[in-house]
Amino acid sequence: MTNQSTLDHVDPEHLALFAMRTLDAEEFAQIHAHVEDCAACRLEVEKVRGDLGLLAIGDSPLAQPPAGSKARLMAAIRNETTHVSARPSSLWKWAFACAGTLTVALIGIVLLQRGEVRRLHQNIDTMQANLEQERAESQQARQIAELLKSPNSIRFTLVTSQVHPQPEAHTTYDQNKGLVLLVASNLAELPTEKTYQLWLLPKSGAAPIPAGLFKPDASGNAQMLYAELPSGAEAKGFAVTVEPRQGSPAPTTSPLLVGLVKS
């Protein structure tokens, strides 16, 4: 267990085998008892353990071991080969331990790379979702601009004189495209189960046509672009009612706001 030149310490080869737990039970127990009381040998064991860990990930982009770490371990392996005839089983145990350590490290690297791939896919999905949202917002902005500039658009102002400050809504409607833009202010906050609903009042006198649901922000302001009105529907005006959260096919309350074409 000891060298001639270091009678008070365990030789480095045995310390390396001890660090990798490849010794038989008797040798392991002897060295363990010595290491408990010998600070120098205990330090050498910690160095070997650190060298093994760093060598295992030496080719990983995640870390590079210090130059001395790999050198010390390779020197220990070269020294061990000079004792092959005396300890063949220990050398094979060491070789298998090194192979096992490298395998575990490679598995860890593969798992880390897979995790990075998953994160990249998640980032790509998020970017695509953001791009789709930006495209939708850009399309809506173009529709609003076209509606406001269209010579076919008719503007309505919907007000009430019974509440102060007065709720007010302005609608811009293009009957050829079936588009209506509503901009409202001073609207009261509604319960969760309620919403405001806009209605197109047909010029023909037919039943009101649903023209979109909306809720105001904390300041009582709201904006809505609704593009699902029947094309060509002539309007004599628009109205706003309070309806259940999912909306109604026909008004269930008296209009809160009404705006008619001036005759």
Read off the amino acid at residue 109.
Answer: I
Task: Give the span between the Cα atoms of 225 and 180, in whole angstroms.
Answer: 6
User: For residue range 98-132, what is the model confidence (pLDDT) as tens digits?
Assistant: 666 666 556 656 656 666 777 888 888 899 899 99
Evaluate whether the domain defined by 154-260 bears CATH number 2.30.320: no
pTM for this structure? 0.46
Domain ranges of the chain: 1-142, 154-260
Q: What is the dihedral of CA 197, 202, 205, 207, to 10 degrees?
A: -40
Higher pLDDT, 156 or 102: 156
CA-wise closest residue to 94 among 9, 11, 14, 1: 14
Q: Quick one: how far is CA 135 from the chain centroid?
A: 21
Interacting residues of 205 by C-beta distance below 8 A, sequence separation 6+: none
